[in-house]
Amino acid sequence: MSGELPPQIQNQLAQLQQLQQQAQAVMTQKTQIEGLIRELDAALKELEKSSEDATIYKSVGELLFKADKPKLTEELKERRDMMDLRLKTMTKQEERISSRFTQLQEQLKLSLGQIPPKGG
């Protein structure tokens, strides 16, 4: 195909490209959230294994502070719940982007099928 594409098709291609970038960003965020969830699960598991009188420290930036085990457990569980919610949100967003991408792809195929061939 030679020559320029019609503006409608150029616009659809630009939207497809933008959706690809959004999908990549969402996948990256999901991967990061899944990693945080694994870390939180590991920390909670270690807390459960520790004795009630064990000395527990919490990292805050570059510092370590002595922490209360039940309070720290509750904080980690709340953070875990928050990460679960974010993961579900990212998954829904990923599904919407994927659906829109497929829809736009089909529109683009139809539009490209309507371009008359260049004769010469």
In sequence order, what are the beta bridge partners of 60?
Answer: 63
Tens of pLDDT, residue by residue, the chain (120 residues): 446 888 888 999 999 999 999 999 999 999 999 999 999 999 999 999 999 889 999 999 999 999 999 999 999 999 999 999 999 999 999 999 999 999 999 988 888 887 776 654
In a domain, 16, yes or no: no
With respect to residue 118, please indicate whether it lies within any of the assigned structural domains.
Answer: no
Number of domains in the chain: 1
Q: Is 61 left (phi over 0), alpha (psi -120 to 50) or beta?
A: left
Which residue type, as a one-letter code, is found at position 18? Q
| Structural domain range at position 80 | 28-113
Residue 70 maps to a domain: yes
**Residue 44 lies inside a defined structural domain of this protein:** yes
Q: Within a domain: residue 5?
A: no
Any idea how long the chain is?
120
Residue 15 falls inside a structural domain: no
Cα dihedral 37, 96, 16, 119 in deg (nearest 10):
140
Q: What is the pTM of this model?
A: 0.80
77 domain residue, yes or no: yes
Do the domain assignments include residue 3? Answer: no
CATH number, domain containing residue 46: 1.10.287.370
